Structures are given as structure tokens and as C-alpha cells.
Chains A and B, each alone.
Chain A
Amino acid sequence: MMTNPTGRMTQGQFSFLPDLTDDEILMQVQYGLNKGYAWSVEYTDDPHPRNTYWDMHGHPMFDLADAAGVMLELKACRQAFPRHYIRLMAFDSTRGVESVVMSFIVNRPPHEPGFQLERMEMDARNVRYTTRSYATHRPEGERYAD
């Protein structure tokens, strides 16, 4: 159990709110589609804050008109990886942006053990810090199993 006020990992746009229902997720997806964004479903069992590249569940969905398409992809991802972190990310290809513009978590492991902070004492009072997820002590695919 993590000790921050939410009791869980707080990445993404809506981690401080109650989990979004599928209807609420659909509304966010529709908002992004209306703005011309392409949605992508990504999953991981390594929630380190600097783990940028979660695995893609297919390519970003360009040229998609119906938010239901994203929900189908999410459903498939949840079935394949029910105990992984899953996030929806929206990409904006506008010149001068060309990056992620929305990102929120839509699936979590049932138990989030959190992170260990390791301090390596250096010269003088200097310290080097390393953050390690307790879950990633186990190999990929075997994390969050119980």
C-alpha cells in the first residue's frame, strides 16, 4: 500500500478521482476525437515514473471516427492484461505540438506495492537517488500475479 493520500500511483490526468467508468472514459475519448487526436492503448507492469515506453496495444488509432473503436481496443487489452497498468494516450499531430496531449490510467493492478527509494551516499553530503518499483523485482509478466 502506497502512503500518498490516494494510496496508489498518481501518474496520468485523473488519478486523484474515483476510477472512471466506461461511460466516463468514452466521453474523454470523444473529446479527444473531436479535437482530431489519435488514441493509443498502452500497458505495462513497470510503473516506474521514468518508464516512458509502455507497450502499445496496436498502433495509435488514426482516422478513427467512433469512440467505440477505442473502447473495443481497451476491452481487448484489459482481457489480455487484466492485472497490468493500462493507459489511454492521445496524440496531436499539429505542427508545433506533435506530442502526447492526454494520458490517463484506465486499469490498475489490484495491489500497488509502490516504490523503494535507494540513497547512495557519495562524497561530502552528496547523495545519488534511485527509485525502484517493488513489483519489478520479479520478471516481466510475473508481476502483480497475486
Chain B
Amino acid sequence: MNKPVDMGVITDAKKRYSAGVLKYRQMGYWEADYVPKATDVVCLFRITPQDGVDAIEAAAAVAGESSTATWTVVWTDRLTACDSYRAKAYRVEEVPNNPGQYFAWVAYDLVLFEEGSIANMTASLIGNVFSFKPLKACRLEDIQIPVAYVKTFKGPPTGMIVERERLDKFGRPLLGATTKPKLGLSGRNYGRVIYEGLKGGLDFMKDDENINSQPFMHWRDRFLFVMDAVNKAQAATGEVKGSYLNVTGATMEDMYERAEFAKSLGSCVIMIDLVIGWTAIQSMANWCRKNDMILHMHRAGHGTYTRQKSHGVSFRVIAKWLRLAGCDHLHAGTAVGKLEGDPMTVQGYYNVCRDSYTRQDLQRGLFFDQDWADLRKVMPVASGGIHAGQMHQLLGLFGDDVILQFGGGTIGHPQGIQAGAVANRVALECMVKARNEGRDIAHEGPEILRTAARFCSPLQQALDTWGDITFNYASTDTSDFAVTPTTA
């Protein structure tokens, strides 16, 4: 029987597979000179080993537990081409300025994954390993998905470019608002908010994540009143309008029924919540692709596993999976609003959504190059505690391809919802115009807004009401790299 030894992979097959317990690094889950193949999935984990557990052994354990290993040697490995199935940890580094934490690079052969299935990929990569006792904590920081695997996913049903063509809206961020209060409005009252916001100048209104079909407003009532509001606003402005109808329900059958009804009423967009799960997301993406529907994704629940740096899954990984799984809109943070988000880190999420080819950018938390193989792009959504007075910052941070959602910043306007919408649209258009004219909006932004407010009293009132509101709290999820090292 084998005993764990301190060093070295056991190459003698008879010894390697004799019954007993070995160290993971001895079983072939650590290969210091391994060079990932172009078809490998590569993961970067942040691991915090228990006291006394060696970092390399911990990394090997992560590789083992997220691929073929169990805690003891099994002879049945020898019936398989087991070396292919073993994930290989090949690099471990201390995390800068975080004692006790290590970055561990692990490569997985393509054979480990079912084509076109996020459920399968996640079951491997974040399956058992996050509960593994020898680690205090574990976080999946980033992932590189090979083109060969990317091409097995259909991606966004509509995509950023086609969405703009359908909506006939180009060269500026889109504007939205979430209907408030979140809960308690009847269908009739709810539709009022939709109509006022869209007629005032917004492109989209939005159901909140927990608006499904509660006693105060059943889903059919909401859909009927909302679509009357959308169509009325479209006629009042001559511009395409939409409202994300949240079809999230208890079962797939419920969601399909709601989506079909939204389609029958002529809605251009439906919405789901991240909490419905990967399989349901891919099913709804397929439905949307068949029915010319834009799919809005609200990332409800993500903060439970993305926010803390030591444990969980980074949102950049979630964003990559969602782009593959297929959604058209994705809430990706505001940097300046009320919700968590360091500006550089948030820009990293936006790049993942919108790039044709994402480059390694450690300051933005992007550890890998990612070739998206022409997969359609996701429109990121900035929502939560933002207002017209921040327009120059938002445009500077995120550019044109983003949906800016001002919920309270529209509905809470002292002169009413239409005035709130006007303020946001004027602020947006004047800032885009000024940027295109070559003005330095980062510095001149407040002056540009004040000038525009001279012909737009709703904007003046918005600036008077919210101009000084900021949410300056330290972010928990930030890059550990102050400067970009040159090595990959």
C-alpha cells in the first residue's frame, strides 16, 4: 500500500495505482512544465489553503477535485485514458498584498466538457471543489474558453448590433428605468409609470427582478397594461419603445407561457432573472432566438457568490458564461452608483460583454486573452443609484454601448416621471454631442450639463435635486494589480 510522500509524481504505474491515499500532486494533478493546449479550458483560482497545507498541493487538489480525483486511489482509472481527464495545475503564485492567498492556474482538456452546456461546465469547475476541506476559501477568478468550445454555444439570441438595428437607435447609450415601487402597484398603476417614462424620452422600462405574478398584480394583467403603455408611447414619440416583461416563473412551462403571451402582445423584449439557473437560461435563449425576442438578464442573486474576493465566482466569469449561454442585456454594474463595483473591475465586465477579442488586462481583472470567435455581443446595463448629474462619468466609463437605467433618477423627479425622463435624455444627448465635438467631458461635463439645463428646466431640477449625490464606499472586489506585469 502506498503512503503519501513529500515530493514527486509517481511514474511507475503499479505503484501509482496500488490502493491507498496519495498526495494530489503525486497523482498527476500538478505539472509545473505543462503548457496549456489551444483547446484547453484554463481557469484561474484564488485559493486560501488551510494552515499547514502547501500551496502547490492545494492547487493540485483543486485540479483533482474539479476533474477526476476522489480522495483515494481507484484501480478503475486504469480502464480509461486517465491522463486526458486529469486537470493539471501548472502554476501557483502568491496574490500580491494578500498573505495566505495564492493564484492557481489549472488547465482542463476539452474532452471533459459537453458541447454547448454551461450546466456541464459549471458542474465540473465549481462543483465539489468549493467545499473542499483543505481549503479555507476558493474563488474562480477568471476563465479562458478555447475557440473550439466557444463555437459550440449559440450565444446572445439577438446581440448588441442587431438589437440596435431592430430598435433603430444608434450612436448613443440606451436609456431605461426600473418601475418603482418594486412591489404593490396594480397592473393599471404600473402601466402608468411605463407610459410616462417612455413618452418622456426613455427607450426602455423594466420590471424589477422580484416582479413575477404576486397577489397585487398577476402577470397577465401586467403584460396587458404595460403593452398598452408601450404602444401608446411609441405612437406619441414616433420612436420604437420597449418594456422588459419579466417572465421568470416557477417552472419552464410557466416561463414559456408568459413569453408566448408577451410575444402575442407585440413586445420586443422579455426578461429573466439569473436565479432561474443555467439550463433555464439556455432554454429561454433558444426560445428568444426562435421568436425574434431580445432577452434581458437581471443578475439577481449574483452578489451572494461574486462580491467577496476570497470565495466564490468572479462576476467576470459569470459574464463570460452568460455571453455563451445567450442573453442580450446583462446588468454589469455602474461604478458610480449605489451597488458594489470598482470602476476598473466593472470596465473589465463590460469588455467581456462587448469585445470581439478580450485582451489580458490585469488592472481590470482580466487574466486571459479571450477570442470570442465572432459570438454576438451582450449589451451591458448600468443600473442602481445613478442620475443625470453623472452623465459625463457614465459616458466616459462605458462609451455608447450600454443601457443606462435611472429608476429613482427618473421616477423621483420633482416634476414627475416625464420630466425625469426628459432630464436624462437631454443630459445624455448633450454629453454625446459634446464628446463627439471633441470636448473633454471628464472635466467639462458639469459645465456641459449646466449649459444644457438652460434650455431644459427638467434637467436643471434634476441637477438641483441629485447633483451632489454620490456613493463613495470602498469596493470589496478590486484588482490586486496596481501595474500591469509584462508576463502572461
Closest-CB distance, A76 to chain B (whole angstroms): 23
Q: Which residue of B lies closest to A133 (CB)?
A: B238
For A47, the chain B residues whose CB sits under 8 A away are 238
In the complex with contacts A11-B239, A47-B238, A99-B161, A17-B426 CB distance below 8 A: yes
Among the stretches B92-100, B204-212, B328-336, B431-439, the one at the interface with A is B431-439
**Which residue of the partner chain, among B171, B201, B455, contacts A104 with CB atoms under 8 Å?**
B171
**Which residue of the partner chain, among B165, B168, B422, B433, contacts A5 with CB atoms under 8 Å?**
B422
Among the stretches A56-64, A65-73, A90-98, A138-146, the one at the interface with B is A90-98
- Bound-state CA distance A117–B421 (Å) is 22
* B289 interfacial by beta-carbon distance below 8 Å: no
For B433, the chain A residues whose CB sits under 8 A away are 13-14, 17, 20, 24, 28
Among the stretches B1-9, B229-237, B406-414, B464-472, the one at the interface with A is B229-237
Interface residues of A in 45-62 (CB under 8 A from B): 47-50, 52
**Which residue of the partner chain, among A5, A98, A103, A104, contacts B418 with CB atoms under 8 Å?**
A5
Interface centre among B170, B239, B433, B458 (most CB of A within 10 A): B170
> Is A10 a contact partner of B201 (Cβ separation < 8 A)?
yes
* A137 interfacial by beta-carbon distance below 8 Å: no
Q: Which residue of A lies closest to B354 (CB)?
A: A96
Q: How many pairs, one residue from A and one from B, have CB atoms within 8 Å of each other in the complex?
A: 130
Contact with B along A1-42 (1 / 0, CB 8 A): 011111001110111111010001001100100000000000
Contact with B along A116-130 (1 / 0, CB 8 A): 110100000111110
In the complex with contacts A4-B236, A96-B374, A115-B235, A125-B224 CB distance below 8 A: yes
Closest-CB distance, B199 to chain A (whole angstroms): 5
* B176 interfacial by beta-carbon distance below 8 Å: no
**Which residue of the partner chain, among A31, A48, A50, A127, contacts B228 with CB atoms under 8 Å?**
A127
**Which residue of the partner chain, among B171, B437, B458, contacts A103 with CB atoms under 8 Å?**
B171
Please classify the interface of chain B as helix (H, G, I), strand (E, B), loop, or mixed, using the class held by over half of its residues.
helix
Q: Which residue of B lies closest to A132 (CB)?
A: B235
- Bound-state CA distance A97–B170 (Å) is 12
- Bound-state CA distance A79–B240 (Å) is 29
> Is B164 a contact partner of A99 (Cβ separation < 8 A)?
yes
> Is A102 a contact partner of B170 (Cβ separation < 8 A)?
yes
For B239, the chain A residues whose CB sits under 8 A away are 9-11, 49
Question: How many B residues have CB within 8 A of the partner chain?
Answer: 45
> Is B168 a contact partner of A11 (Cβ separation < 8 A)?
yes
> Is B236 a contact partner of A28 (Cβ separation < 8 A)?
no
Interface residues of A in 83-119 (CB under 8 A from B): 89-90, 95-104, 114-117, 119
> Is A13 a contact partner of B172 (Cβ separation < 8 A)?
yes
Interface residues of B in 436-488 (CB under 8 A from A): 436-438, 452, 455-456, 458
Q: Which residue of A lies closest to B374 (CB)?
A: A96
Closest-CB distance, A91 to chain B (whole angstroms): 10
**Which residue of the partner chain, among B172, B231, B422, B456, contacts A129 with CB atoms under 8 Å?**
B231
- Bound-state CA distance A7–B344 (Å) is 40
> Is B235 a contact partner of A116 (Cβ separation < 8 A)?
yes
Extra contacts, 19 of them, besides A100-B170, A127-B227, A129-B228 (Cβ < 8 A), are A2-B236, A2-B237, A5-B458, A11-B168, A14-B429, A16-B426, A16-B456, A17-B430, A49-B234, A52-B168, A99-B161, A102-B170, A103-B171, A117-B235, A126-B265, A127-B224, A128-B266, A129-B266, A131-B235
Task: Return 15 A-B CB contacts under 8 Å, by A number.
Answer: A4-B201, A4-B237, A5-B419, A5-B458, A10-B239, A13-B433, A14-B429, A16-B201, A17-B426, A17-B433, A17-B452, A24-B433, A90-B171, A97-B161, A126-B264
Question: Residues on B close to A: CB < 8 A?
Answer: 161, 164-165, 168, 170-172, 199-201, 224, 227-228, 231-232, 234-240, 264-266, 356, 374, 377, 418-419, 421-422, 425-426, 429-430, 432-433, 436-438, 452, 455-456, 458
